Amino acid sequence: MQKLMLVAIAASIITASADAQTRIDSINTNFRWLGPDDKIIVERYDDPKVQNVSCYMSRAETGGIKGGIGIAEDPSRFSIACRAVGPVAMPPSLPKSEVIGFVSASLFFKSFQIHRAIDPEKHVLVYTVVSTRLINGSPFNSISVVPLDVR
């Protein structure tokens, strides 16, 4: 029983340290008799280096007994949409590509990472969410593009 409590505490610490800034919604998708229901979670991630860009990610979250104590592995099903929520300008010395956020999707092995890249030719920022777990040699992913202000 002590091991189970330790695992639950570790899971809550890992979840709390994720870079998700705001949970927007939680939609039940599958009823479970024991433990919480399976859900679709919608979260907002604000780009920490580019003002007025917010990414909204929906992802599956496994419920049940394992989900309730934080040891279930969430499926690699997600979508991302990034939007300009005000004037957007590229700050000086912005890295060409970097990870701007992550969400833990299992206790030890999998997370979703949000990457930002710059397409200087089209003057846009490209955001991609990728699962760190490989499925048949290729990770699941989703993409969104935000135009920079044209001067």
Q: Determine the Cα–Cα distance for residues 74 and 3; give it in Å rounded to an integer.
A: 21
Side chain identity, residue 111: S
Phi then psi for residue 87, to 5 deg, are -60, 135
pTM of the predicted model as reported, rounded to 2 decimal places = 0.73
Higher pLDDT, 10 or 27: 27
Distances (CA, A) of 24 to 41, 89, 105, 131: 8, 26, 18, 21
Q: What is the pLDDT of residue 91?
A: 87
What digits encode the pLDDT tens for the residues 63-117? 777 767 776 766 667 889 999 999 998 888 899 999 887 666 555 556 778 899 9
Sign of CA dihedral 82, 84, 89, 91: negative
Q: Which two tokens stand for residue 84?
A: 């300009």
Distances (CA, A) of 28 to 34, 105, 110, 129: 14, 17, 22, 22
